[in-house]
Structure 1
Amino acid sequence: MADDARLVERVTRSLYTAIETADLDLMGAVWLESDDVVCVHPGWPAVRGRGQVLRSWAVVMAGTPYVQFFLTDLDVQVAGDTAVVTCSESLLTGAEGAAEGFVGAQAVSTKVLRRTPGGWRVALHHSSPVMGTPSDEADDDEGAQSADD
């Protein structure tokens, strides 16, 4: 089971490497060869089907001059021929007009992978932006209260 978890983590990290390096061949290699795959990019509706998913990644990569991911809280759960991966994504991306030319963002991600004769492959990727943390909201509430005093 530990070996499977390491293999699943390797495929997961390869997905992020594909994004960072705009490598469509690598992106195609990590996805399940099936029309049952689903990808949800932050702010997008669900993209269904292998061809549509790979096209969506081509669009993302073409519109992203630079991106680097820092994964934390990576958790891999394997049950038979299915694996579920959750993680937090902190990313740094190039952006016009940003003070330093870069913008940071955070998201949480879930992936479902299936074991195939060729190895583990991504069947579902869902990434959602993190808009703030409970401590940020508490700080905002305190600031609002002191402004009213």
Structure 2
Amino acid sequence: MSVDTTAIETVNQAFYTAIENADLDKMTEVWAEDSAEGQVTCVHPGWTLLAGRSEVLRSWALIMANTTYIQFVLTDVKTSVLGDMAVLTCVENILTAGDEGESSFAAGKVVASNVYIRTPEGWRLWMHHGSPVLQNDDEEDEDE
């Protein structure tokens, strides 16, 4: 694994840890600044496109304020470095508190694409796009 790949995967893990810990300061650190070349963007599962650092960070603050528990187990992590840009794709296996509160849990899967850019401060998140994976309630249906 290259030095860049290791650095990108470290920042990627910091991104998910920030969500799990509702750490808006860490989330702010992970995201790149908007630039003359463009704005950071984010698509949460089921949401429309959010553009601009302040709008993206506001969305994370809202999610964190309304999430009592969330845990991510990342699988199928693949990182490609293309000069000063990198694309990391993964499957987010998500465990959250269910509708009944902390005594129940709900699970889901999201396929995510995270684009990172190299900045003077290191690798920073430029774009996050999460797409839900639809799952049957009865997995046996898929085997027939």
Aligned match of 2:69: 66
Q: Distance in 2 between matches of 1:72 and 1:92?
A: 14
Q: Distance in 1 between matches of 2:92 and 2:102?
A: 22
Q: Distance in 2 between matches of 1:103 and 1:2?
A: 36
Larger fraction in strand: 2
Query: Among residues 89, 94, 98, which one is paired with 2:92 in the alignment?
Result: 89
Segments ≥4 residues shifted beyond 6 Å = none
Q: Match for 2:135: what amino acid?
A: G
Shift of the alpha carbon at 1:26? 0.3
Q: Distance in 2 between matches of 1:121 and 1:141?
A: 41
- Alpha-carbon displacement from aligned partner over 1:61-95 (angstroms, at most 9, x marks no partner): 01100000000000010010000000001010012
Aligned match of 2:19: 19
Task: Compare CA radii of gyration and give the structure with the larger one.
Answer: 1
Q: Distance in 2 between matches of 1:122 and 1:43?
A: 20
TM-score (norm 2): 0.90
TM-score (norm 1): 0.87
SS in 2 for 1:17: helix
- Alpha-carbon displacement from aligned partner over 1:111-134 (angstroms, at most 9, x marks no partner): 11000010000000000110027x
Aligned match of 1:34: 34
In the alignment, structure 1 segments of 5+ residues that lack a partner are: 143-149
Query: Among residues 110, 129, 133, which one is paired with 1:107 in the alignment?
Result: 110
Query: Among residues 66, 79, 82, which one is paired with 1:79 in the alignment?
Result: 82
Q: Match for 2:105: what amino acid?
A: F
**Count of paired positions:** 140
| More divergent stretch after superposition (32-41 vs 63-72) | 32-41
Larger fraction in helix: 1
Shift of the alpha carbon at 1:98? 7.2
Aligned match of 1:139: 141
Q: Distance in 1 between matches of 2:102 and 2:15?
A: 29
